Amino acid sequence: MVVSELCANLNYTNFGTVGQCLVETTLFGDVALAGLIVFILFVGLVIRYNFPIQLILPIGIALAYVLWLMTLADIFLGILMLGLIIGGAILIIALLSYLDR
């Protein structure tokens, strides 16, 4: 495998270059795959520690937005839009229940 000049002279105190070399050598330069692994780890933590929905939705939306900005992958834009639609539906249901009092 060809190692880039950046990874050949790696400074381990600079976490940005360490992360970039990790993505370059392990995931073959696919940043979207790295973001998908981070999102799957988040879902695993949610399942493992049984987070309430009040925490899952905002953190998931923020994580999808940040990962979409970093990778520009369509899957994270889809997750972001799905989270916003679900959040809007929850807001509408709460508003309708408040008006029904």
> Could you read off the pLDDT of 37-91 as tens digits, one per residue?
889 999 898 889 988 878 889 999 999 999 999 888 999 999 999 999 999 999 9
Angle at 72 between CA 67 and CA 73, to 5 degrees: 85
pLDDT score for 1:
52
pLDDT score for 3:
64
Q: 2: pLDDT confidence band, cut at 50, 70 and 90?
A: low
- pLDDT for residue 5 is more than 80: no
Average pLDDT over residues 12-40: 83
**Per this entry, what is the length of the chain?**
101
Are 60 and 79 in contact by the 8 Å Cβ rule? The answer is yes
**Half-sphere exposure of residue 43: CA atoms within 13 angstroms, side-chain side:** 8
